[in-house]
């Protein structure tokens, strides 16, 4: 009888522990689901600003980083603003709060980090958030006069200008000088920032990434199944694109080799100071510094890829007299969490800023891996290395 009672007590204790464990796990998952689904309102996100509350804890994000990048990976993280909501304007100029912002691009100056996002609902104008590089704090929002995908964003450290791909009906790049950025205040002006200049690219469609160097700009095109292309266009002494020399009509890139494609470009009226090179499949980002190029590749819910490459060319610009472009030699390949967008080499050459779109509200309820942080990788990049 005693043994029977002991067994009953032991079984009851085990059952109780199991019930407690199940409810603990359920509560833990409910907390995660609550964090994922919580979105901002006009009551908790100040007008003209962006949410600054992360979706998850530092530990949650660190666990993901270590899983994909490895335990020895050196990094720090910055919160991505706006994932719970941010203010912008609609086509009628009305200031409205949006909660469907999708991160796309990231770039940095000497002291700031810039993040581009678009409204998945295509109701509000696209935005750029400015973040202090040291503290990681959100500073302010720039409202663009476009609902573009804004996948390409690059800070020109040589002339202190921000270049942003603002494709609408046709491809174009909006350029903002530092003075224009400094003087913009959304809460005062209540309308989009005006570009200092605009480069229209009627011969190109769907810019997925850009990178501005001292004497050329790289424009990358996303291809899901085929290898994407990179076109390098030379800049003049003032860092501008000579639009008069560009084709005035769409061109078809035909060929299977760099040489064949560059011949196509020439026949299409493309000027001499440009060249085509093959990149990678599903290119989401490109970043150049000296003779190094970094490419990002997104693979849906599978691991993303970062390719650190060396550009093989006699010229730093890669635009050769025979019309051929760079050959990219992969010197390092890294796995990364799913849904990675852009990666950008910092001007210091010591860091790589990496951004993900998995934290966006339209995606996070369906994604198993969610990154709501910018990963700042410790990456020593030196010329010729």
Domain ranges of the chain: 1-37, 42-378
243: left (phi over 0), alpha (psi -120 to 50) or beta: alpha
Cα(371)–Cα(382) distance, integer angstroms:
29
Tokens of 130: 């400015």
**E strand or H helix at 8:** helix 2-37
Between 96 and 206, the more confident residue is 96
221: left (phi over 0), alpha (psi -120 to 50) or beta: beta
Phi, psi of 194 (to 5 degrees): -95, 130
- 149-192: pLDDT as tens digits: 998 999 999 999 999 999 877 788 999 999 999 999 999 999 99
| Residue 5, CA distances (Å) to 9, 18, 165, 234, 338 in order | 6, 20, 74, 86, 53
pLDDT category of residue 381 using cuts at 50, 70 and 90: very low
Cα(178)–Cα(56) distance, integer angstroms:
33
Rg of the chain over all Cα atoms, to the nearest angstrom = 24
Give residues with Cβ within 8 angstroms of 29, minimum separation 6.
Answer: none
DSSP state of 144: -
- 255-294: pLDDT as tens digits: 566 666 667 666 666 656 677 777 788 888 999 988 889 9
This prediction has a pTM of 0.85
Torsion of CA 241, 245, 246, 249, to 10 degrees: 150
DSSP state of 63: H
Check whether 356 has a pLDDT greater than 60.
yes
Cα(147)–Cα(166) distance, integer angstroms:
8
CB atoms within 10 A of CB 95: 16
Q: Which of 30-34, 54-58, 92-96, 296-300 is the least confident region?
A: 30-34
The class that CATH gives domain 42-378 is mainly beta
- From 325, 347, 297, 304, select the one nearest 114 (Cα to Cα): 347
Cα(152)–Cα(146) distance, integer angstroms:
14
CB atoms within 10 A of CB 366: 9
Amino acid 30: pLDDT = 42
136: left (phi over 0), alpha (psi -120 to 50) or beta: left
């Amino acid at each position: 009888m005693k043994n029977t009672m002991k067994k009953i007590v032991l079984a009851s204790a085990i059952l109780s522990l199991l019930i407690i464990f199940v409810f603990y796990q359920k509560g833990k998952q409910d907390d995660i689901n609550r964090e994922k689904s919580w979105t901002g309102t006009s009551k908790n996100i100040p007008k003209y600003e962006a949410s600054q509350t992360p979706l998850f804890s530092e530990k949650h994000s660190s666990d993901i980083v270590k899983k994909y990048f490895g335990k020895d990976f050196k990094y720090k993280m910055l919160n991505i603003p706006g994932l719970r909501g941010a203010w912008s304007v609609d086509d009628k100029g009305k200031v409205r709060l949006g909660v469907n912002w999708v991160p796309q691009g990231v770039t940095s100056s000497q002291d700031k980090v810039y993040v581009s996002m678009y409204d998945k609902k295509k109701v509000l104008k696209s935005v750029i958030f400015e973040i202090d590089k040291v503290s990681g704090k959100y500073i302010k929002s720039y409202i663009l006069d476009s609902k573009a995908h804004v996948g390409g964003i690059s800070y020109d450290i040589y002339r202190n200008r921000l270049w942003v791909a603002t494709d609408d009906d046709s491809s174009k790049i909006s350029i903002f000088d530092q003075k224009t950025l400094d003087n913009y205040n959304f809460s005062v002006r209540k309308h989009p920032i005006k570009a200092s200049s605009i480069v229209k690219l009627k011969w190109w469609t769907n810019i997925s990434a850009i990178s501005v160097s001292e004497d050329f700009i790289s424009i990358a095109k996303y291809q899901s199944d085929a290898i994407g292309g990179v076109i390098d266009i030379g800049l003049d002494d003032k860092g501008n694109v000579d639009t008069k020399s560009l084709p005035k009509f769409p061109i078809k890139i035909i060929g299977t080799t760099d040489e064949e494609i560059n011949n196509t470009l020439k026949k299409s009226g493309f000027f001499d100071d440009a060249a085509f090179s093959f990149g990678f499949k599903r290119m989401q980002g490109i970043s150049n510094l000296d003779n190094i190029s970094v490419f990002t590749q997104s693979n849906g819910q599978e691991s993303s890829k970062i390719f650190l490459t060396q550009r093989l060319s006699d010229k730093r610009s890669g635009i050769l007299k025979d019309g051929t472009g760079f050959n990219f030699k992969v010197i390092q390949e890294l796995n990364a969490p799913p849904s990675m967008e852009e990666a950008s080499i910092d001007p210091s050459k010591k860091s790589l800023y990496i951004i993900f779109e998995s934290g966006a509200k339209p995606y996070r309820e369906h994604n198993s891996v969610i990154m709501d942080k910018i990963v700042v990788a410790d990456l020593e990049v030196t010329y010729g290395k």
